[in-house]
Amino acid sequence: MPHDPDPPPAKKFKPGSVFFRLDKNKPVMLLTRKENATSPLDIQRKQLPIYQAKLQLLNQLRTLHSAILIGETGSGKTTQIPQYLYEAGIGRQGIIAITQPRRVAAISLAGRVAEEKRTQLGKLVGYTVRFEDVTSSETKLKFMTDGMLLREAMGDPLLLRYTVVVLDEAHERTVNTDVLFSVVKTAQRRRREFSKVPLKVIVMSATMDVDLFSEYFNKSPVLYLEGRQHPIQIYYTKQPQSDYLHAALVSIFQIHQEAPPSHDILVFMTGQEEIEALARTCRDIAKHLPDSCGPMVVFPLYASLPPVQQLRVFQPAPKGCRKVILSTNIAETSVTISRIKYVIDTGMVKAKRFNPGSGLEVLAVQRVSKAQAWQRAGRAGREDSGSCYRLYTEEEFDNLVPMTVPEIQRCNLAGVMLQLTALGIPDVMNFDFMSKPPPEAVHSAVEHLELLGAVEMKEDQVHLTALGKKMARFPLEPKYAKTILLSTNYFCSEEILSIVSLLSVDNVLYNPPARREEVLAARKKFISSEGDHMTLLNIYRAFKKVSGNKEWCRENFVNSRSMGLVKEVQAQLKDICLKLNLKLESCGGDTASIRRCLAHGMFINTAELQLDGTYLALDTHQPVAIHPSSVLFQAKPAYVVFNELLHTSRYYMRDLCLVDADWLLDAAPEYFGCKLRTTKS
């Protein structure tokens, strides 16, 4: 492939441009496409690099119990391997499961494979994701999120419905994926011991630590699939970028002014708020560009976006119009969005980090790993040759960590330990993780669950309590599950379900910096001096009163999409409550009952006002501050419970609720006996 000294957009750099240079070493042409995207599906399938290795692959997979398959992004492994197995009669006596870390990938892949098999989605090919099951008794190829297969394992630890489990995008190393590795490995072993139908396990990714995976799956052979479908050129900035958002904006419009309108752009960003803000800016700028630039349509893509909105990114833009997709790392893997020619990689990702020593779980923006960077670049070469613009220098790329640190080693394990105990794992303290979390993180999680009353220790073994069994039924953090279960004691279950649903969805409100005064004026009528939870509840009640009117949402800076998802989550949580025979009641205007319930369920996240006017997190003795976005920012309440900590220049508490010391003592007398200043002599 020829290498130009500069990328095409460099010809007409505008003031404030982001300068790139081409990396001359990385991109190589491995396979050339012979037909265009309008070819019949069977011809397209035969053009995929994986097709050349079909017979050798099947010969290997037929004889192996477990295999690790490495194939470049765009090689066709995710859509073709399940079909090859089924067509060759491998695993036909049961179901072939293909797991994905993300729901949008599971849904879109199932749709593509159903199309290739010329079958209606939900028949031969189907999918199961949280809150949605599109399968039938005919389904033999089942795409699903790893969390859904884990839920199935609670009722069927041997996974007897399945003959093959394909664990795709294994490099992502989400908590669910890592737990699933062990669950599947155990099911495979126990089925052999009980002389059941064998379970075949295939672990796939474009990038992973193959030695680690092979060793974990009993020294499984590693199969390498060479070749990608289309070449990708990689460009780096000449200088480090101090503001990656500005750099992304400039890059979008450089490309928009130069490239044909049929070439779409995918931009990787860190979170919903950032994406929605940049989407509005792009739309505003596009309106004022000369007609020669052509129109632009901008789509956001992030995990908390309602499924219908997520799937809009797969729809082609109107003729002569460019599609720009602003996405979190949700689009990194297994998702083919047609017409993507350019990828802009900010090099940043938002991730949670948990410090078991301090007990703090912090959400922070950080650099991607090299593996993530290559996954992102791969989105540009799915249907044709493409370009990836990295908003960082080649030197910065060289200094990135090779692989993403597994989530299991950087998160609060309380929810994981609760689920493992619910799965009936005999010794959760020594669970067979591929990458073991720090022992102190495991102990901290079990102590957390003991404090909540979810588990108890008997002879060094962790056992679920009756309360813990109910908590495990909710797909929520343990503190939220307990708060819901306690709400019946305070006759406020309707309000608590609303609050937990609101907290489970990202950014139900938006706060454009340029309209700060308007936002403050609009919010004034909803603000509660008792904290953010009560304020959110007031807004949600008003939203329901106007039946989600979009004009009302615009006037009050409420994200109507997110509010729609809140209603969906609430309906699902209500369904679980009814199955548990919980009485659903409303306390009306009795906000003290709601706050008392929150104090009893979330007491571990408590902060106390100190004599010098600062706050201290009582569980960890970490100095913390009230986030400027909180309605309590200017107040100085003696005690608050909070949802999470955000780390920027300091540790900020987000989503706070005013509580009384007496309620905290009542919730956990031994725990708070020596912690609260009001109890000290």
Residue 513's pLDDT band (cuts 50, 70, 90): low
**Contact present, 374 and 400 (Cβ < 8 Å):** no
Is the pLDDT assigned to residue 522 strictly greater than 90?
yes
Residue 4's pLDDT band (cuts 50, 70, 90): very low
**Contact present, 324 and 252 (Cβ < 8 Å):** yes
Is the pLDDT assigned to residue 322 strictly greater than 70?
yes
Give the pLDDT of residue 407.
87
Q: Say which residue, 385 or 630, is predicted with more confidence.
A: 630
Q: Which CATH class is domain 41-225?
A: alpha beta
465 Cβ neighbours under 8 A, 6+ residues apart: 453, 454, 455, 456
Per-residue pLDDT tens digits for 8-63: 333 333 334 454 444 434 333 222 233 334 447 888 888 888 888 899 999 999 99
Q: What is the pTM of this model?
A: 0.73
Q: Say which residue, 246 or 316, is predicted with more confidence.
A: 246
Q: What share of the chain is helix, strand, coil (3-state, %, to 5)?
A: 40, 20, 40
Per-residue pLDDT tens digits for 195-245: 999 999 999 987 777 889 999 999 999 998 876 567 889 999 999 999 999
Per-residue pLDDT tens digits for 151-171: 898 889 999 999 999 999 888
**By CB neighbour count within 10 A (0-12 exposed, 13-18 middle, 19+ buried), where does 557 fall?**
middle
Query: Cα separation of 9 and 13, whole Å?
Result: 7
Query: Cα separation of 392 and 494, whole Å?
Result: 48
Give the pLDDT of residue 380.
84
Give the pLDDT of residue 14.
35
Is the pLDDT assigned to residue 333 strictly greater than 80?
no
Is the pLDDT assigned to residue 324 strictly greater than 90?
yes
Give the pLDDT of residue 36.
39
Average pLDDT over residues 346-373: 80
- Tell the CATH topology of 232-407: Rossmann fold (3.40.50)
**Contact present, 220 and 170 (Cβ < 8 Å):** no
Average pLDDT over residues 106-123: 94
Average pLDDT over residues 603-613: 94
**By CB neighbour count within 10 A (0-12 exposed, 13-18 middle, 19+ buried), where does 242 fall?**
exposed
Tell how far CA 452 is from the center of its chain.
Answer: 26
Residue 388's pLDDT band (cuts 50, 70, 90): very high
Give the pLDDT of residue 33.
31
**Tokens at 231, concatenated:** 């070449």
Residue ranges of domains in the chain: 41-225, 232-407, 412-462, 478-676
Amino acid at 317: A
Average pLDDT over residues 604-611: 94
Q: SS3 for 629?
A: coil
Per-residue pLDDT tens digits for 625-670: 999 889 999 999 999 999 988 777 788 999 999 999 999 999 988 8
Q: Could you check whether 41-225 and 232-407 share the same CATH topology?
A: yes
User: 34-48, 404-418, 457-471: which range is least confident on average?
Assistant: 34-48
Amino acid at 161: R
Angle at 540 (CA atoms; ends 638, 489), nearest 5 degrees:
60
Q: Say which residue, 76 or 191, is predicted with more confidence.
A: 191
Share of the chain above pLDDT 70, in %: 90
Amino acid at 160: L
**Contact present, 421 and 469 (Cβ < 8 Å):** no
Query: What DSSP designation does 292 have?
Result: G
Amino acid at 240: P
Residue 549's pLDDT band (cuts 50, 70, 90): very high
Q: Which of the listed ranges 223-232, 469-478, 514-523 does the model predict with the highest average pLDDT?
A: 469-478
Tell how far CA 207 is from the center of its chain.
Answer: 19
Is the pLDDT assigned to residue 503 strictly greater than 50?
yes
497-513 CB burial, b ≥16 within 10 A, e <16: bbbbbbbbbbbbbbeee
Average pLDDT over residues 429-458: 90
